[in-house]
Homo-oligomer: A and B are copies of this chain.
């Protein structure tokens, strides 16, 4: 589409107006005609009223040349796709920004392909802040040429769009990224709480670690902002992180490569989910580390 004025007015459809999807769809609607659909239709109506998108019933999304989905799970995408696949026109591109599962997405891609519809898995990182700023990172799996065609569409909400591999690779990278987040977070929590118990204030330890080789996104950003402050604001729930780590477990199964550290972290997150519930912020997992230690990280 780049450089092609005719393609730049392609109609888009956006499915799933949640915390991530709503601002992504708003950016999309600011750039081109955008149909929106949501399982609870009043949400779509409100979106249309606020952002100039057009709320439609599900079967009307077949009008769009590019369909972007941002639903809870792959099973939801499969369900919606099953309902509309027969109506889609050949040449349509389905860009699935859901944080989903590689294997069933590959099955979905095959089914859509039978209708001449190309599928890209294209989960995003950057959180709700990135969605609102329109600066998300998109990690896309699937045909590279297809990605090039829709790149101008995705640019409405993305600051960086990276082709990472075949269908499923986007989901795999997202899941592994978030599992590294979980691993680095948990490791940092264990180390910091032991230092606190040795008489080192957490902020002091963080100052040194962040000037040294032990630093990571959790030590640089999450723990100073959310743990040391005792705020634990809910921006990305533990339930969602645990879902992504579960997807990564499938990536590891498929790879067949040993991953004792990541598997360990996956088990601990499952424990945290049981003990703290799914609705706390993901960083609150460290409250379990603190409880087990008998000391707070601060």
Task: Check B212 against A293 for contact (C-beta < 8 Å).
Answer: no
Task: Check A256 against B197 for contact (C-beta < 8 Å).
Answer: yes
Which range contains the number of A residues in contact with the other chain?
A: 35 or more
**Stretch from A74-82, A90-98, A162-170 forming part of the interface with B:** A162-170
With A162-B208, A183-B183, A271-B292: A190-B137 Cβ-Cβ less than 8 Å: no
Cross-interface CB contact of A261 among B102, B190, B201, B213, cutoff 8 Å? B190
**Stretch from A38-46, A52-60, A245-253 forming part of the interface with B:** A245-253
Interface: A26 (CB within 8 A): no
Interface: A62 (CB within 8 A): no
Cross-interface CB contact of A270 among B179, B181, B256, cutoff 8 Å? B256
Neighbouring B residues of A267 by C-beta, 8 Å: 258-260, 263
Neighbouring B residues of A207 by C-beta, 8 Å: 162
| Oligomer copy total | 4
Neighbouring B residues of A156 by C-beta, 8 Å: none
Neighbouring B residues of A181 by C-beta, 8 Å: 212-214
Task: Check A166 against B199 for contact (C-beta < 8 Å).
Answer: yes
Interface: A193 (CB within 8 A): yes
Please report the C-alpha to C-alpha distance between residue A289 and residue B265 in the assembled complex, in whole angstroms. Answer: 17
Known: A137-B211, A165-B198, A180-B219. 15 other contacts (CB 8 A): A160-B211, A172-B200, A173-B200, A180-B191, A181-B214, A183-B187, A184-B216, A187-B262, A256-B270, A257-B293, A258-B268, A258-B292, A261-B265, A271-B292, A275-B292
A residues sitting closer than 8 Å to B (CB atoms) are 102, 125-126, 137, 139, 160, 162-166, 168-169, 172-173, 176-181, 183-184, 186-188, 190-195, 197-201, 204-205, 207-209, 211-217, 219, 248-249, 251-268, 270-271, 274-275, 289, 291-295
